[in-house]
Amino acid sequence: MTTPQNSPDHANPEAPGEGPSAHAGSTHNDMARLHALGYAQELARRLSGFSNYAISLSIIGILAGGATSFPLALSSVGGAAIGVGWPLIVCFSLAVASTMGQLASRYPTAGGLYHWATILGGRGWGWATAWFNLAGLITVLAAINVGTYRFALAGLAPSLGIDPSTWSPEFDLKLQILFVLLITGSQAAINHAGVWLTARLTDFNGWWTLIVSAALAALLLMFAPGLNPSRLVEFQNFSGAAGGDIWPNCSNLAYLFALGLLLPAYTISGFDASAHVAEETQDATRRVPEAIVRAVMVSGVAGWALLSAVVLAAPSLEQAAAQGSGSFLWIVWSVLPAPLALAATDAVIVAQYLCGLATVTSASRMTFAFARDGGLPFSHSLKQVSHRTRTPGLAIWGVAGASVLFTVYTPVYSTITAVCTIFLYISYVLPAALGAVHGGQALAGADWNLGRWYRPLAALSVVGCLALIAIGMQPPNQRALHVVGGMALVLVIAWYTFERRRFPGPPNYAFQRVTRERRTSRFSAFTQRAKNPRLATDKAKAKAKHKNLVKDRADSLRRVWAAGASRFLRKGKGKPAPAKAPRNKKSRPSP
């Protein structure tokens, strides 16, 4: 294992051009902590606390998920899905983010989710968490880029004189796959160029998202034909044709309200990105948990303000819901003057593209970390880091290719969002639940600590995750049940068939496992003796017999050694060793 002093990043942990950094001390501590966890500093530690926060803020992407998934909420129960449903899910996401923050502070490693689950619950839990998280990141990248293409097509086609309604479904699908391939490939190429370029673009997108959201909300309220705040708490049934057939026709408003929760649940996800780039962040034990929680809080408030403004500015909610997947753009173009509407559309598309860019960064770091510990096929290749760019190149391109293939399997946008939301929140909640059950000393020592609030928040996270799983598998997203259920079944079979004998886990897991096994074996032996006194007596007799046998062997070896030493000393004095007297004679021969 390479020590931090011998690692490539030791000589210059700061970004080019910064010279001696004020963060040199914290960088050294970060590398020491990473070394204590069993890893060398291979990736460039060049991200500031803001850059770490901006990556999660970019992936959450209220202009990406909020705009493209807006019909999932509006076409359920109308404005109440935003006014009431959004804050409800933000509170749940804050609970998940808080528990994640404490774990990230205690174990600041790339791919931290599976690392935490391994230490807290064992190799099997860690291995399953890694696969769920990796699948969630790949599918969320597919959802972002499919949403970017569909949003750009709907927003720019009229101004370009294009009418997509005249296209055949086959041609539309092929064009979608082509553009998703181009979008994802360009994002992978930028990531491959180096983390310095990705960091600058995600920093820009952090400010861009907040500025565009505030400006768009202000413009919509300014040009709105009228404002009716009661829309945000009024429940209306927009299922079936009334909502553009986003959801099947249903008369149960509570059920429709639950379906509308997929909008905030999908949008407020991806904040684990801050943990995945922990090995590239300065002062990671403090900055990473702060970035996770801050990204959720800021996105929750800003997203609710933006989407509430969209609902309030709509000329007619009934007409907007009837537009189906185009309801967000219909409201923007109906309220704003054409030049402002076009500028707003372009600004949202830029934010969506940069959201996908940050997702490639997060997913590739997760892939690198899992491959580094031998958890993936072709791990030896996927864990390689470029000496020139200091990025895991093959992991980046592998993630990009997998996300494009998933869009070929299921091109339906709502199904993709449901699948990625389920996968991600399962991987978020598993380590939190294991920490609540088995944490103890494993959670102690975190610089960012929830104290007694950890277990209640972890319990809330588990309950909310189970509810999301049930919601995400409802029609028309029943294919999500096949994907999630099929993956869970494959993981169980693979683990008990061969992976539990092959997968070693993180480097420092061996010590944790040996310690746990010793404690378990001692407790098991104690309980057996307590239940069967005769067993204790027989064990004591066997122990005494073994002790006597060892003593006899030691005495025999001592006699042999003494005889050999005596002959050696006699030879050293120049005297021949006396001949051994025959046993049947009592007298010794004369010298």
Interval 200-210: pLDDT, tens: 998 899 899 99
Q: Look at the block and give the residue holding tokens 């580094």.
A: 372
pLDDT at position 18 over 50: no
480 in the same domain as 429: yes
C-alpha–C-alpha distance, residues 487 and 287, integer Å: 34
Question: Mean pLDDT over residues 29-47, rounded?
Answer: 78
Residues 117 and 265 in one domain: yes
CA distance linking residue 7 with residue 22, whole number of Å: 20
31 within 8 A of 276, measured Cβ to Cβ: no
**pLDDT value at position 416?**
79
**Does 494 score more than 80 pLDDT?**
yes
Say if residues 119 and 295 touch (Cβ distance below 8 Å): no
Encode 414-444: b = buried (16+ Cβ within 10 Å), e = exposed. bbbbbbbbbbbbbbbbbbbbbbbeebeebbe
Q: Which phi and psi angles does 43 have, rounded to 5°?
A: -85, 155
Among 137-151, 307-321, 406-420, top mean pLDDT goes to 307-321
Say if 123 falls within a structural domain. Answer: yes
Task: Tell whether the model's pLDDT for residue 344 goes beyond 90.
Answer: yes
Indicate the number of domains in the chain: 2
DSSP tally for the chain: helices H, then strands E: 25, 0
User: Does residue 252 share a domain with residue 184?
Assistant: yes
Going by pLDDT thresholds of 50, 70 and 90, the confidence category of residue 446 is: confident
| pLDDT (0 to 100) of residue 528 | 56
Contact in structure between 55 and 354 (CB atoms under 8 Å):
no
Residue 17 pLDDT level (bands cut at 50, 70, 90): very low
- Tell whether 556 and 500 lie within a shared domain: no
Closest-CA residue to 112 (of 331, 264, 291): 291
Q: Are residues 161 and 298 in the same domain?
A: yes
pLDDT of residue 122: 86
* Domain-located, residue 517: no
CATH number at residue 497: 1.20.1740.10
Same domain, 238 and 341: yes
Q: Is the peptide bond before 507 cis (omega within 30 degrees of 0)?
A: no
Statement to judge: residues 158 and 222 lie in one domain? yes
Residue 378 located in a structural domain = no
Mean pLDDT of 302-318: 95
Say whether both 172 and 317 belong to one domain: yes
Query: Do 251 and 156 reside in the same domain of the chain?
Result: yes
550 and 406 part of one domain? no
In a domain, 10, yes or no: no
| DSSP-based three-state secondary structure for 281 | strand
* Token digits of residue 274: 């801050």
Residue 439 pLDDT exceeds 60:
yes
88 shares its domain with 210: yes
What is the rounded distance in angstroms from the CA atom of residue 341 to the CA atom of residue 347? 10
| Parent domain of 539 | 532-574
Assess whether pLDDT exceeds 50 at residue 427: yes
Separation CA 279–CA 291 (nearest Å): 14
Q: What is the arithmetic mean of pLDDT over 387-416?
A: 85
296 or 46: whose pLDDT is higher?
A: 296
- Number of residues that this document lists for the chain: 591
In a domain, 118, yes or no: yes
Q: Are residues 436 and 560 in the same domain?
A: no
Q: Give the three-state DSSP class for 47.
A: strand
3-state helix, strand, coil in the chain (%, to 5): 75, 0, 25
In a domain, 1, yes or no: no
pLDDT of residue 12 exceeding 50, the answer is no
Asked if the structure places residue 4 within a domain, the reply is no
* Residue 17, in any domain of the structure: no
Helices of type H across 473-532:
479-494, 500-502, 509-531
Residue pLDDT, tens place only, 495-513: 999 888 888 878 765 445 4
Which range (10-24, 234-248, 249-263, 575-589) has the least confidence?
A: 10-24
